[in-house]
């Protein structure tokens, strides 16, 4: 508990939940870091895909970036409608489930949960790549640095929403300011510096089909849109009026994302920047404009920070979405519980663990993870917008025709992009996500069926035909000898029932005889049953005896009392066997049998 207090601080009272809400300034840092940070790798992925088809296609990077910004405007406008129609939050999952049905809702929810895990891995690995670009000697430590970054963000989020907002605001605004400065400086630099790198090579041609390459580049660049839905999922985290503040935050996020995307893509093309294995496009552009001075290193530092902290968007939204799905009984109910700091701690920890596993599997390689990215989020985009169209048709209301038009365009556009992404990235790893989404939907349905079955069986109406009391109560006390814990268990057993027996499993005849001699003095009239165990098992003979008692009293109940001594130090447990714990685990699955422990606490 002391370590927990050091890491996450003192608990917060439930009544103070409203004081933990986010302002628009903090909300932009918490929920927009993923979308804004994608500028650091989105334009680079466009250039990387185009370069594969020959340098003659590089100049298409700017038109592709413009088309992606147009897509950002469409999606952001659609989600602006969603925020005001569903101010309780939940985003694509709630919208799709309420308007299109349970399965579309689960598909949207599963797609987002998977994409949030990928967001953490891509953001962290891209942030570490920015550091290794500036300091190549650290490349061999990429995985370790990624895992440390995940642990850091996880702990900060466990400390509470408002505290994470304070921590992450400075790096986010430092990054935005640095990139706007870079774009402005690039504008002035463009008058004095031409693009020497590609002035001749752009005459080269490609043997590949250009349209295929362009579509692939567009699909890769669509990673820029990941994170746009985050604000709509976390509306309830904002200060009142929640929907208005969330809508303003979404608008500013879309404007900043559009300006930075076009600016980086345009000047990377203008100065002839090409993707390189050991240096990012953003690093090259900063080096050309500012040389390797303090501004260059500040931008690299800010880029690495926001890319690492962009994972915070997932740490803010994954727990919220999983808690909503858990409340609907589609995920384990533990995910709906709030921790000491009024955050969904279980979801935060699970997200951290899953992301760490992916980092290790893919060795922190951003470009290996990118193909898995964006499929899930565009699936959620499409279902969310389709759900909003159904919402406007069903409920109408003020401005419903405009709403149908906006969300209808959003549905068609994101569906087309989804097909392009899934097709272009399928062979490069998108097939994993396309299999994982239905797999997770299947698991959520099984979880839901389990909870429904439990609710039916636990209902008091189910026991109405069988309201009669137990006809007999048998108490069985497994003992391993005579000591104070056993004496206490016998006292407790005699207080429960008149039918009490002690059971001793014979592993050593000599020890058995010693126990028999002592028993009459301390047993208080409780008979001792000796069970033979030719194969030296303690549990099997005991279970056989319990089954025999159960057969003799089929309408009765058996209480198995386990005498246990409790050491004063936690590490003392390692010095003793855990037979009682194992017996409890076995008895848990036996109908008509109750197990309980009578502890005897040791002083040292």
In whole angstroms, give the CA distance from residue 199 to residue 59. Answer: 11
**Is-contact 405 417, C-beta < 8 A?**
no
Helices (H), 227-293: 230-233, 242-270, 281-290
Query: d(Cα 266, Cα 42) in Å, to the nearest integer?
Result: 13
Task: Give yes or no: residues 475 and 410 share one domain.
Answer: no
* Residue 281 · residue 265 · CB < 8 Å: no
Does the pLDDT at position 199 exceed 50? no
Residue at 116 is within a domain: yes
Are 67 and 211 part of one and the same domain?
yes
Q: Is 56 among the domain residues?
A: yes
Instruction: Answer yes or no: is 456 within a domain.
Output: no
Nearest to 377 by CA among 323, 314, 331: 314
Question: Is residue 430 domain-shared with residue 506, that is, in the same domain?
Answer: no
Instruction: Tell which of 416, 451, 486 closes a domain.
Output: 451
Domain extent at residue 494: 469-601
Q: At which of 425, 451, 477 does a domain end?
A: 451
**Partners of 600 in the beta sheet?**
565
* 146 occurs within a structural domain: yes
Tokens 């349970």 locate to 102
Asked whether residue 356 falls in the same domain as residue 480, the answer is no
**What's the DSSP call for residue 396?**
-
Tell me whether residue 349 is exposed, middle or buried, using C-beta atoms within 10 angstroms of its C-beta: 0 to 12, 13 to 18, 19 or more. Answer: middle
Number of independent structural domains in the chain: 2
Give which of 73, 103, 113, 285 is closest to 183, Cα–Cα: 285
Assign residue 437 the CATH number of its domain: 1.20.1740.10
Contact 283, 133 (CB under 8 A): yes
Is 464 a member of any domain?
no
Helix, coil or strand: residue 88: coil
Q: What is the rounded distance in angstroms from the CA atom of residue 268 to the CA atom of residue 271? A: 5
Q: Are residues 141 and 283 in the same domain?
A: yes
Q: Are residues 61 and 187 in the same domain?
A: yes
pLDDT in tens, 244-280: 888 899 999 999 999 999 999 888 888 888 888 777 7
Based on the fold, state whether residues 107 and 239 are members of the same structural domain: yes
Please indicate, yes or no, whether residues 339 and 399 belong to a single structural domain of this protein. yes
Phi-psi region of 238 (alpha: psi -120 to 50; beta: other; left: phi over 0): beta
Per residue in 142-151, pLDDT tens? 889 999 989 9
Examine the domain organization and report whether 134 and 44 are in the same domain.
Answer: yes
Q: CA 418, 424, 426, 429 torsion: positive or negative? A: negative
Per-residue confidence band for 493, with pLDDT thresholds at 50, 70 and 90: very high
Residue 237 within a domain: yes
Summarize pLDDT for 507-518 with one digit per residue, the tens: 888 888 888 888
Rounded CA separation 111/106 (Å):
8
Q: What is the pLDDT of residues 54-100, one digit of tens each?
A: 667 788 888 988 988 988 888 888 888 888 888 776 678 888 998 99
In this structure, the answer to whether residues 422 and 528 fall within a common structural domain is no
Please report the DSSP string for 484-537 in residue order. Answer: HHHHHHHHHHHHH-S-EEEEEEES-HHHHHHHHHHHHHHSTT--EEEEE-TT--
174 and 76 within one domain: yes
Q: Would the pLDDT of 597 be above 80?
A: yes
Query: Higher-confidence residue: 520 or 148?
Result: 148
Q: Look at 107-121, 141-155, 184-198, 590-604 and tell me which has the smallest mean pLDDT.
A: 184-198
Tell me, yes or no, whether 252 lies in a domain: yes
CATH code for the domain in which residue 595 is found: 3.40.50.620
Neighbours of 426 (CB within 10 A): 15
pLDDT of 90-135, one tens digit each? 678 888 998 999 999 999 999 989 988 988 888 788 778 777 877 8
Q: Are residues 429 and 508 in the same domain?
A: no
Q: Does a structural domain hold residue 141? A: yes
Residue 19 has pLDDT above 60, yes or no: no
300 vs 253, residue with greater confidence: 253
Q: Write the Ramachandran bin of 499: left for phi over 0, alpha for psi from -120 to 50, otherwise beta.
A: beta
Which residue is listed with tokens 């699970």? 350
């Amino acid at each position: 508990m002391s370590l927990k207090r050091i890491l996450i601080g003192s608990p917060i009272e439930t009544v103070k939940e409203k004081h933990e809400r986010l302002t628009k300034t903090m909300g932009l840092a918490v929920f927009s870091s993923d979308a804004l940070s994608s500028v650091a790798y989105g334009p680079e992925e466009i250039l990387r895909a185009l370069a594969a088809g020959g340098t003659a296609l590089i100049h298409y990077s700017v038109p592709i970036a413009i088309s992606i910004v147009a897509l950002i405007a469409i999606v952001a406008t659609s989600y602006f409608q969603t925020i005001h129609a569903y101010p309780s939050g939940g985003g694509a999952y709630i919208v799709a489930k309420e308007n299109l049905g349970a399965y579309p809702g689960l598909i949207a929810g599963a797609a987002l949960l998977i994409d949030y895990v990928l967001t953490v891995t891509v953001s962290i690995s891209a942030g570490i790549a920015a550091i290794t670009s500036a300091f190549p000697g650290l490349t061999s430590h990429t995985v370790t640095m990624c895992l440390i970054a995940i642990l850091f963000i996880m702990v900060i989020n466990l400390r509470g929403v408002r505290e994470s907002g304070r921590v992450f605001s400075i790096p986010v605004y430092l990054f935005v300011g640095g990139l706007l400065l870079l774009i402005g400086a690039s504008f002035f630099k463009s008058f004095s510096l031409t693009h020497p790198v590609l002035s001749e090579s752009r005459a080269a041609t490609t043997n590949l089909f250009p349209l295929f390459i362009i579509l692939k580049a567009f699909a890769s660049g669509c990673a820029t849109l990941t994170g746009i839905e985050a604000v709509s999922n976390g509306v309830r985290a904002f200060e009142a009026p929640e929907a208005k503040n969330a809508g303003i935050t979404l608008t500013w996020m879309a404007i900043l994302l559009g300006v930075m995307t076009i600016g980086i893509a345009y000047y990377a093309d203008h100065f002839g920047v090409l993707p390189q294995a050991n240096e990012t496009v953003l690093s090259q552009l900063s080096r050309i404009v500012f040389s390797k001075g303090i501004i260059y290193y500040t931008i690299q530092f800010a880029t690495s920070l926001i890319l690492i902290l962009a994972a915070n968007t997932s740490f803010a939204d994954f727990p919220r979405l999983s808690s909503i799905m858990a409340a609907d009984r589609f995920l384990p109910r533990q995910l709906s519980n709030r921790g000491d700091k009024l955050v969904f701690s279980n979801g935060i920890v699970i997200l951290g663990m899953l992301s760490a596993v992916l980092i290790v599997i893919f060795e922190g390689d951003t470009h290996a993870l990118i193909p898995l990215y964006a499929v899930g989020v565009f699936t959620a985009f499409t279902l969310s917008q389709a759900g909003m169209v159904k919402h406007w048709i069903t409920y109408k209301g003020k401005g419903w025709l405009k709403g149908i038009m906006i969300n209808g365009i959003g549905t068609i556009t994101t569906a087309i992009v989804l097909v392009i992404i899934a097709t272009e990235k399928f062979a490069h790893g998108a097939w994993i996500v396309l299999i994982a989404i239905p797999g997770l939907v299947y698991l959520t349905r099984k979880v839901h069926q389990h909870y429904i079955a439990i609710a039916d069986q636990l209902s008091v109406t189910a026991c109405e035909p069988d309201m009669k009391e137990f006809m007999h109560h048998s108490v069985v006390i497994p003992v391993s000898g005579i000591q104070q814990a056993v004496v206490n268990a016998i006292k407790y057993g005699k207080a429960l029932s008149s039918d009490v027996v002690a059971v001793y499993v014979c592993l050593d005849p000599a020890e058995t005889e010693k126990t028999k001699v002592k028993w009459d003095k301390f047993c208080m009239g409780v008979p001792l049953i000796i069970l033979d165990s030719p194969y030296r098992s303690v549990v099997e003979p005991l279970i056989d005896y319990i089954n025999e008692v159960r057969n003799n009293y089929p309408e009765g109940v058996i209480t198995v009392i386990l005498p246990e001594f409790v050491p004063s130090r936690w590490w003392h447990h390692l010095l003793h066997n855990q037979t009682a714990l194992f017996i409890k685990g076995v008895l848990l699955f036996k109908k008509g049998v109750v197990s309980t422990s009578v502890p005897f606490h040791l002083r040292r």
